[in-house]
Structure 1
Amino acid sequence: MANPRTPLGLFGTDDLIDPDDLAIRDTVRKHVDEKIRPHLADWYESGEIPARDLARELGTLGVLGMHLEGYGCAGTTATAYGLACMELEAGDSGLRSLVSVQGSLAMFAIWKHGSEEQKQEWLPRMAAGDAIGCFGLTEPDFGSNPAGMRTRAVRDGDDWVLDGAKMWITNGSVADVAVVWARVDDPADDKVRGFVVPTDTPGFSAPVIKKKMSLRASVTSELVLEGVRLPSSAVLPEATGLSGPLSCLNEARYGIVFGALGAARDCLETAIAYTREREIFDKPLAGYQLTQAKLADMTLELGKGMLLALHLGKLKDAGTLAPEQVSLGKLNNVREAIAIARECRTLLGAAGITLEYPIMRHANNLESVLTYEGTSEVHQLVIGQALTGESAFR
């Protein structure tokens, strides 16, 4: 049995995981702890990360598009990918975001909906971290309602010309390729289509968003498309309508189900260690009933979230995972993770707001995780529709 002072050890969740998946998890955990964690506070404070070096490092580790088959991807189980996301986010949500956007959004879009030529051109380089991708769906005025997008793609001979803007795009200003979703401006085909856009295409720019209090160890950008001319081969041939980008979002949301638990676990383990060492009125803070009640309640929620994540992982590996089930996981695990982070902060007192400890950094990051890839309200409505058969989105 795992160390009983380890929150998830009390649940014995390792016994539910395939040994090969555990080995992948442990490899990612060791790499994050030894190679990346020592730099995270500095990156967060400065608001800058060595994104290209990190991408190559993570490519060598094998986590970029790790759950995809072929084209240089490892083809792991969905559970292994989820566990890797957990370890990455135990480091920082920005680190997991880089991997999620690369693998579950940009790479998955090309892998699932792209042509063979697009796959051969981009996926091997992206899996190795030699090329970075981003995913352009959200717009300045249309986040939770992607159907209202204003980015347009217009036919001009054999080419397409794109105009519009996207907002809150992870990896945007360091990307080599952007998967951009646009409404086809054609009365005969007013559908959303995906385009593979090399970022050195004239008319494409990606201003960095710097003034942010969350996900500071992550690159966040706006995408601006002004007369971006693309050949017909840039279209993702297998994606027509919003089902294309939404299928990609479902992949990323699945990673968040596990990832948010990594941030929560890191907060809780930090709080346990701190309360055992911190003395208050001549005895450890951990020796007080109120402290133990908080730790017990947080451990319970973390463990329940982990059991849910592992169950969803098994469903995904079996090919039976439904979008509303991903919503259950995203809604519950992010909501509980941010509650755990806030409660852990109280146990550290004033020390909890410093970058000497990871708790406030995780709490700030989870504010973004709470609202991206579908707000809590959106996931409540997805679940509500599954339960009632009635859509309450309008």
Structure 2
Amino acid sequence: MESLQRLSLLQSQLTAKPKPVDDVWASVNADQFLSAKGISLRQKTRTLMTSIEAPLQPYINNCEFPFEFLPALRDLGVNGYHIKDFGGPGLSSVEAGAICYELARIDASMMTFLTVHNSIGMAVVDYLGSEEQRQRILPDGIALKKIMSFGLTEPDYGSDATGLQTTAKKVDGGYILNGEKRWIGNATWADYIIIWAKNVDDKNKIQGFIVEKGQKGLSTKKIENKYALRMVQNADIKLDNVFVPDHNKLAKADDFATGTNKILEHSRIKVCWGAVGIAAGAYEAALQYALQRKQFGKSIAQFQLSQLKLSKMLAMCESMLIMVIHLSQMYEQGKTTIGQIGRTKSHCTSVAREVCAMARDLCGGNGILLENRVMKAFMDIEAIHTYEGTYEVNMLVSGREITGGMNAIKK
């Protein structure tokens, strides 16, 4: 009798029509790695992003930032990411990553804006600021009353962060900053820009300075004709004898290792999560298109060539998702290295590029339309692939660790 019941169950499973695997997150049961609060915030983020996907389209087309949605982002309760004080949510690394994933799954510009503001904006003040700086800046940042930016890269120095030319010179009551920055996200309208400069009076050590909007000598110009991350406002910055008072020098950023490098380890993990979110969004959009698009009398999802592409895309997304979950868990345990983080970032953005290309291919001629989302993902992953260190530089940092420093890039 028991054998007959098992046979009947097996037959029903074989004949039952399977449900499409249209949710990468659910396919690996990733909620098991979140707290109840984390699950709730992730779901709220997904609901918001789904609801504003269509209204965001005009902003994407016009390369404008959607300020009208800042209150909705604030009300999610995720802003602040890891910060526990001043009303911050105190998320774990996996939970903050899940928020980045959900943002990027629909729109990588929104993910980039919030991650710049949080992971290389407020996190700098939280980790490297004095208690006075934390209390003065973080409450308004968490409430999204003030926006933050991070000024590291320069016209001639991108991945070679230690080669920057912006200088800080000590004067009575503060410092004078001179130099230029490029590709600085949020900078055209940020209230605070963290500027990294060589302190010429302290052995040219790279240190951090908080430059406030409207300061004399500070000018920002939006970079035009950008096809990836179209809503993000990247800027060229000029600093012409900008005075920064002593209380705006980051208290704990003594040099590159204790300042910039420490922050990039933290923020680069969010970039990994963003890449996975972009890829997952592209896969899910391509699947929906394949299920609905009919050719030769049936949906293209019924053709084995389409199924092969979808299966490969899903496997790539699942493997990346599991990888970044594990990386975030190790980071919280203090067991990650800069090489491991860089290797993960390079791997995820590279694989995500392939997923986005396959998704665009699966959608045929309609794949170039922004309304199908895959083309936007296809363009956005190009920016993610090179920001916070190119593929090659991150992999070379990894290689230096693997080989024990042979042929090392000077840190």
Q: TM-score higher than 0.5 here?
A: yes
Q: Which residue of 2 aligns with 1:208?
A: 222
Secondary structure, aligned partner of 2:273? helix
1:338 aligns with 2:353: yes
Q: 2:55 aligns with which of 31, 39, 56?
A: 39
Q: Which residue of 2 aligns with 1:329?
A: 344
Deviation of 1:124 (Å) = 0.5
**1: CA distance between counterparts of 2:32 and 2:192?**
40
Q: Which residue of 2 aligns with 1:194?
A: 208
Q: Percent identity?
A: 31
**Residues 179-328 of structure 1 aligned to structure 2 (within 5 Å):** 179-186=194-201, 188-243=202-257, 244-328=259-343
| Change in CA separation of 1:54 and 1:118 when aligned onto 2, cut-off 3 Å | farther
**Residues 363-378 of structure 1 aligned to structure 2 (within 5 Å):** 363-378=378-393
Secondary structure, aligned partner of 2:394? helix
**2: CA distance between counterparts of 1:19 and 1:71?**
22
**1: CA distance between counterparts of 2:265 and 2:33?**
24
Letter in 2 for 1:330: K
Write out per-residue CA displacement over residues 172-201 of structure 1, whole angstroms, 9 at most, x where no aligned residue.
001001110110112x53211100111111
| Change in CA separation of 1:198 and 1:10 when aligned onto 2, cut-off 3 Å | closer
**2: CA distance between counterparts of 1:259 and 1:109?**
20
1:11 aligns with 2:25: no
Tell me if structure 2 keeps the 8 A contact 1:183–1:192.
yes
Secondary structure, aligned partner of 1:201? coil
**2: CA distance between counterparts of 1:339 and 1:75?**
34
1:79 aligns with 2:94: yes
Tell me if structure 2 keeps the 8 A contact 1:324–1:382.
yes
Secondary structure, aligned partner of 1:206? strand
**2: CA distance between counterparts of 1:79 and 1:334?**
18
1:90 aligns with 2:121: no
Q: 2:371 aligns with which of 341, 356, 370?
A: 356
Tell me if structure 1 keeps the 8 A contact 2:339–2:395.
no
**1: CA distance between counterparts of 2:60 and 2:319?**
30
Q: 1:66 aligns with which of 81, 91, 102?
A: 81
Write out per-residue CA displacement over residues 160-219 of structure 1, whole angstroms, 9 at most, x where no aligned residue.
110111100000001001110110112x53211100111111111111112111111111
Letter in 2 for 1:210: E
Q: Which residue of 2 aligns with 1:387?
A: 402
What RMSD, in angstroms, separates the aligned Cα atoms of the two structures? 1.6
Letter in 1 for 2:62: S
Deviation of 1:7 (Å) = 5.0
Letter in 1 for 2:294: E
Secondary structure, aligned partner of 2:227? coil
TM-score norm. by structure 1 comes to 0.95
**2: CA distance between counterparts of 1:112 and 1:163?**
25
Tell me if structure 1 keeps the 8 A contact 2:82–2:91.
yes
Secondary structure, aligned partner of 2:211? strand
Secondary structure, aligned partner of 1:213? coil
Secondary structure, aligned partner of 1:72? coil
Secondary structure, aligned partner of 1:238? coil
Deviation of 1:15 (Å) = 3.8
Letter in 1 for 2:40: A
Aligned length: 390
Q: 1:166 aligns with which of 174, 181, 188?
A: 181
TM-score norm. by structure 2 comes to 0.91
Stretches of structure 1 lacking an aligned partner (at least 5 in a row): none
Secondary structure, aligned partner of 2:279? helix
**1: CA distance between counterparts of 2:159 and 2:341?**
17
Q: Which residue of 1 aligns with 2:156?
A: 141
Q: Which residue of 1 aligns with 2:44?
A: 27
**1: CA distance between counterparts of 2:196 and 2:160?**
13
Letter in 2 for 1:49: F
Letter in 2 for 1:20: K
Letter in 2 for 1:39: P
Secondary structure, aligned partner of 2:269? helix
Deviation of 1:59 (Å) = 2.2
Secondary structure, aligned partner of 1:259? helix
Letter in 2 for 1:197: V
**1: CA distance between counterparts of 2:299 and 2:285?**
15
Deviation of 1:74 (Å) = 1.2
Secondary structure, aligned partner of 2:389? coil
Secondary structure, aligned partner of 1:366? helix
Write out per-residue CA displacement over residues 16-74 of structure 1, whole angstroms, 9 at most, x where no aligned residue.
4444322221111111111x2122322111110134x4444322222222212212311
Deviation of 1:4 (Å) = 5.1
Judge which range, 81-90 or 242-251, deviates more: 242-251
Tell me if structure 1 keeps the 8 A contact 2:33–2:94.
no
